[in-house]
Amino acid sequence: MRLMAIVHSHPDTPPVPSASDLAEAKVPGVLSLIVGLTPVVELRAWQFVFSENGIAVRSKEVQIVQSCDSSRTVALL
């Protein structure tokens, strides 16, 4: 088995990685899916970029698209 993503919510802020999200990121190669709840429900995916010391230093957004050949949603890097 392989961990693919970690999901959490931001009840009062947009679904953008916070300073706390960066500080708590510990698993390179795993997507961070953030659900924003205000003012509307929104899902965004992020890939953390780690330094040589294993510290998340920034994030880059990963586009979420609907797969052409199935009904499931997939994230593309």
Q: How many domains does the chain have?
A: 1
> What does pLDDT average to over the chain?
89
The CATH code of the domain that includes 18 is: 3.40.140.10
Q: 11-48, pLDDT tens digit by residue?
A: 999 999 999 999 999 999 999 999 999 999 999 999 99
* Nearest by Cα to 3 from 23, 20, 26, 24: 26
E runs forming strands in 31-71? 31-36, 42-50, 56-62, 64-66
Q: Which domain holds residue 45?
A: 5-75
- pLDDT over threshold 90, residue 72: no
Instruction: State the pairing for strand pair 64-66/31-36.
Output: unpaired
